[in-house]
Amino acid sequence: MSESSNMSKNLSVTEHNKIREMLALAAADALEPNESELVMQHVLTCPQCSAEMEQWQYLSRSLRQLPTPQPSPELVQRTCARAEARIMDEREHAWNRRVMISLVLFAWALTLTSWPIVRLVSGGLLSLLDPRLSQSWLGFAGFTSLVWLTGGIAAILLARHQRRERSLA
């Protein structure tokens, strides 16, 4: 009876349960300083939590005395090699993506800027409004097709190169 009245005098049941949940962390020194102080003050006034805290501290001390397993040097070396390979793959993938985006943007910019220039040189400014098939339009269409074909070939070569690099790794 005195324990529950003492508990209700100092803390509510909810606050008491919250502190009880923090006992293991306090024993492992894993709390913030203000939280740790709150727990320690409560432990001084609550015999139930004090007993539980002693058990957690004993367990924590015992765990600290156990040897820490160390990975073998071969495992560390393999793990580092895998991590480096993955980082290189990610960098290469990002590089390939930037190259492809640059090629597409370059092809579109070349296409959009070339057509008016070809039309201007071949037939004057007014011919820009004339949509008829003409020799200059066919030349431009061939040029555009060649640019896009080159971009497609570059994409295929990059994909094959990337696949080959991954199969070697």
Residues 96-154: pLDDT tens digits? 888 888 887 887 787 777 767 766 666 665 555 555 556 666 777 777 788 778 878 88
Is the whole-model pTM more than 0.75?
Answer: no
Residue 13 CA to residue 5 CA, distance in Å, equals 11
- Range of lowest pLDDT (3-17, 71-85, 88-102): 3-17
Q: Which residue has the tokens 């919250």?
A: 18
Confidence (pLDDT) at 55: 94
Phi-psi region of 69 (alpha: psi -120 to 50; beta: other; left: phi over 0): beta
CB 50 within 8 A of CB 33: no
Q: Calculate what percentage of the chain has a pLDDT beyond 70.
A: 79
Residue 37 CA to residue 20 CA, distance in Å, equals 14
CB 95 within 8 A of CB 139: no
Confidence (pLDDT) at 143: 78
CB 53 within 8 A of CB 43: yes
Which of 22, 19, 16 has the alpha carbon at shortest distance from 3?
A: 16
Residue 65 CA to residue 141 CA, distance in Å, equals 78
Q: What is the mean pLDDT of the chain?
A: 80
Q: Which residue has the tokens 């080159």?
A: 150
Per-residue pLDDT, averaged over 25-43, amounts to 91
Confidence check: pLDDT of 76 > 90? yes
Q: At what angle do helices 13-21 and 2-10 cross, to 10 degrees?
A: 90
Per-residue pLDDT, averaged over 83-90, amounts to 91
Which of 34, 15, 27 has the alpha carbon at shortest distance from 51?
A: 27
CB 56 within 8 A of CB 24: yes
Higher pLDDT: 94 or 137? It is 94
Give 71-78's long-range contacts (Cβ < 8 A, gap of 24+): none
